[in-house]
Amino acid sequence: MATKRLRRAGVSPEICERLQRQHIESCKDLLSLTPLEVMSTTGLSHQNALMLLQTVSKAIAPPVTTALELWKQNAVSCFPTSLSALDKLLRGGLPCGTITEVTGPSGCGKTQMCLMLSVLATLPRSMGGLDSSVIYIDTESAFSAERLVEIAQSRFPDYFCSKEKVLHMAGRVHLFRELTCQDVLNRLEKLEEDIISNAAGLVIVDSVASVVRKEFDTTLPGNLIHRSNLLGQEASTLKYLAHEFQIPVVLTNQITTHIGERGSAPPGEMDSGFVVAALGNTWSHSVNTRLIVQYVGTHQRQILIAKSPVAPFSVLNYTIQKEGICLSGNDSQDTLYEGTDSGLQPIRVRTGFNYNLTKSTDQTLP
Ligand SMILES: Nc1ncnc2c1ncn2[C@@H]1O[C@H](COP(=O)(O)OP(=O)(O)OP(=O)(O)O)[C@@H](O)[C@H]1O
Ligand SMILES: [Mg+2]
């Protein structure tokens, strides 16, 4: 990816320093120069300047791989969520190297999920963790250290029985509060270095929608294009980082309700509303795995695997407890239902990412 830092593209520290003095820091910056400009900035010969440009081009060229290699990697490229039925459906957990979005209405548990995943990432590998730090970008000031500790101590009481372990875990969650679009973009630009310096194995952005929706009134001319460009930039940086470091990137998103779209109901039924992940169609396609959380009654909630390259559309019931997210029942495939099982309302799938909540819209938007 073009924003890759030159230091990580095989360029010597001395040349990096010379280029940095002229504010040339990324591969894109360097590749925008002519060989002559590279020569004058670095003091290299023509031959060496061409070689430098070639090295940097190669460093950002998309790698060619085979299905066999990817298949072999897959065994170790998932981050278990500790929700066994969900992990089973996702073939091991949240995929590393790609973006997972958790979307749903306010209060449904997206931030709870992020806090729980943060705890899990710090656990040793023998316990299903990543034994790594976490970069947590909080755009809503919703992060609670107390709740993080409560989830850790309640979910893994044996492991977090000593104060040292709790402190160690909490110290590995690196929180960045970024409350404007520009702050988020600036943070994403520096994220590569943050990931390296903090040895992060998980990146969370909670939420990607709130600042964007606050700052862009899409009814005003031009704003929609501006917003799409910004989201495209964010998505491509996050995709690059996920892939480059082979880590899971988890984002939360809000929902948008479309009420009474004509033709959304099956024959014989009234047209009614459906909800989709916010931020539009282009953004929707940027996400590799989409989990939708929604309400079913007062205490019961559901996670839907709404988009996944490996799992079918599926629904799991969950509740939020002291321990964080807990699948209902015995945390097994028994909690899975599709169609009209368990007396719950049917869910009709509209497309790969839209889903219809024809009879439960009121519950979904309390
Ligand atoms: N200690 C706890 N024990 C049980 N449930 C809790 C606890 N703390 C929070 N909750 C539940 O989590 C809900 C809040 O979830 P969360 O903050 O994750 O929502 P969200 O989906 O991120 O919402 P938003 O879109 O507004 O950010 C509360 O309404 C409550 O039901
Ligand atoms: Mg939240």
Q: Give tens-digit pLDDT for 312-330.
A: 999 999 999 999 999 986 4
The model's confidence at residue 334, banded by pLDDT at 50, 70 and 90, is: very low
- CA-CA distance, 80 to 130, in Å (whole number)? 9
Which ligand is located closest to the Cα atom of residue 318? 1
Average pLDDT of the residues in 4-9? 87
Please compute the mean of the pLDDT values over residues 305-311 and round it to a whole number. 94
Beta-carbon neighbours within 5 Å of ion ligand 2: 110-111, 142
The domain limits of the chain are 6-60, 70-364
The beta-strand segments (E) located in 43-128 are 78-79, 94-95, 99-103
Q: What percent of the chain has pLDDT over 90?
A: 58
Ligand lying closest to the C-alpha of residue 108: 1
Compute how many other C-beta atoms are within 10 angstroms of the C-beta atom of residue 143: 20
- The pLDDT of residue 335: 34
**Looking at residue 92, what is its pLDDT?**
93
223-232 tens-digit pLDDT: 777 777 888 8
Predicted confidence at residue 138, as pLDDT, reads: 96
Give the pLDDT band of residue 256 (cuts 50, 70, 90).
confident
Query: Per-residue pLDDT for 339 more than 70?
Result: no
Q: Is the fold of 6-60 the same as that of 70-364?
A: no
Query: What pLDDT shows up at residue 263?
Result: 52
CB 30 within 8 A of CB 6: yes
Q: Is the pLDDT of residue 254 over 90?
A: no
Where does 6-60 sit in CATH, by number? Answer: 1.10.150
Q: Check: CB of residue 184 under 8 Å from CB of residue 211.
A: yes
Say which CATH architecture domain 70-364 belongs to: 3-Layer(aba) Sandwich (3.40)
Taking a C-beta distance cutoff of 8 angstroms, is the pair 212, 230 a contact?
A: yes
Answer yes or no: pTM beyond 0.85. Answer: no
Under 8 Å between Cβ of 316 and 83? yes
User: Packing angle between helix 110-122 and helix 163-171, nearest 10 degrees?
Assistant: 110
Whether residue 338 has pLDDT greater than 80: no
Read off φ and ψ for residue 77, nearest 5 degrees: -110, 35
* Distance from residue 337's CA to the centre of ligand 1 (Å): 24
Provide the pLDDT for residue 140.
92
| Mean pLDDT score, 236-260 | 86
pLDDT at site 159: 97
Residue 313, pLDDT score: 95
Please give the pLDDT value at position 210.
Answer: 77
Closest Cα to atom 12, ligand 1: which residue?
109
* Residue 352 pLDDT > 50: no
Mean pLDDT value across the chain: 83
* Mean pLDDT in residue range 17-42: 94
| Residues with a CB atom less than 6 Å from ligand 1 | 104, 106-112, 140, 142, 147, 150, 320-322
Who wins on pLDDT, 278 or 204?
204
**Protein residue with least CA distance to atom 24, ligand 1:** 106
